[in-house]
Amino acid sequence: QSVLTQPPSVSGAPGQRVTMSCTGSSSNIGAGYDVQWYQQLPGTAPKLLIYGNTNRPSGVPDRFSGSKSGTSASLAITGLQDEDEAAYYCQSYDSSLSGWVFGGGTKLTVL
């Protein structure tokens, strides 16, 4: 049972927009701690996609965007492409655990 809750799967057709959520609590996202998002392609290590809730590292396309409100965060992907098919994980800090926590991951399927 992950501290941050993500839907197990989402899907969309090429070119469409998809969003996925990350729900936390008052000891993590709701406490104001930053949310990061990672993309994990099959058989590879996770890659940083979004940091500080809304910031993209250099090299990450602007099709990817993050937002945060209250105890939740969201990742949006526009202009969906086949290569976006991957698992996406959110991550934050939790003051109750005094450590970093992840969501269980959302598997994105491009139809």
Partner 1 sequence: QVQLQESGPGLVKPSQTLSLTCTVSGGSISSDNYYWTWIRQHPGKGLEWIAYIYYTGRTYYNPSLNSRLTISVDTSKNQFSLNLGSLTAADTAVYFCARVHDSPYSARFDPWGQGTLVTVSS
Sites of contact with partner 1 (CB under 8 A): 2, 33-34, 36, 38, 44-48, 51-52, 57, 89, 91, 93, 97-105
> Exposed, middle or buried: residue 25 (CB in 10 Å: 0-12, 13-18, 19+)?
middle
Q: Do the Cβ atoms of 110 and 42 come closer than 8 Å?
A: no
CA 22 to chain centre: 7
Q: Give the nearest distance from C-beta 16 to partner 1 in angstroms.
A: 25
- CB of 13 or CB of 43, closer to partner 1: 43
Least distance (Å) from partner 1 to the CB of residue 110?
20
